[in-house]
Amino acid sequence: MPAQANQPLPEGYQLLNYRLMRVLASGGFSFVYLAHDENDTPVAVKEYLPSSLALRVNGSAAPLVSDENLPTFRYGMKCFFEEGRALARLMHPNVVRVLNFFRANETVYMVMRYERGRTLQAHIQEHRGALGEPWMQRTFVALLNGLREVHSNKLLHLDIKPANIYLRNDGTPLLLDFGAARQTLSHEGVRLPPMYTRGFASPEQHAQRSNLGPWSDIYSVGASMYACLAAAAPQPANARLQQDRLIPAREAWAGKYSDTLLELIDRCLRLDYLERPQSVFELQKALLAGRRPAPPRHVAFLAQAKRALLRLARRAH
Q: Residue 244 half-sphere exposure, CB side, CA atoms within 13 Å?
A: 9
Beta-carbon contacts of residue 256 (< 8 Å; ≥ 6 apart): none
Asked if residue 193 binds other proteins (CB under 8 A), the reply is: yes
| CB of 51 or CB of 172, closer to other proteins | 51
Helix 280-289 with 259-268: angle, nearest 10 deg = 160
Residues 29-68: x/- map of binding to other proteins (CB under 8 A)? x---------------------------xxxx---x----
- Applying the rule CB under 8 A, the residues between 216 and 255 that interact with other proteins are 227, 230-233
Count of CB atoms within 10 A of residue 103's CB? 11
Asked if residue 200 binds other proteins (CB under 8 A), the reply is: yes
Give which of 134, 117, 114 is closest to 126, Cα–Cα: 117
Separation between Cα atoms, residue 3 and residue 72, nearest integer Å: 15
Asked if residue 265 binds other proteins (CB under 8 A), the reply is: no
Cβ atoms 109, 98 nearer than 8 A: no
With CB under 8 A as the contact rule, the residue among 102, 256, 300, 304 that binds other proteins is: 102
With CB under 8 A as the contact rule, the residue among 100, 105, 211, 258 that binds other proteins is: 100
Asked if residue 28 binds other proteins (CB under 8 A), the reply is: yes
Q: What is the DSSP letter of 296?
A: P
* Measured CA distances, 58 to 62, 148, 308 (Å): 10, 44, 74
With CB under 8 A as the contact rule, the residue among 61, 75, 134, 289 that binds other proteins is: 75
Residues that bind other proteins (CB under 8 A): 1-2, 4-5, 27-29, 57-60, 64, 71-72, 74-79, 81, 84-85, 88-91, 98-103, 108, 121, 124-125, 128, 159, 161-163, 177, 179-180, 191, 193-200, 227, 230-233
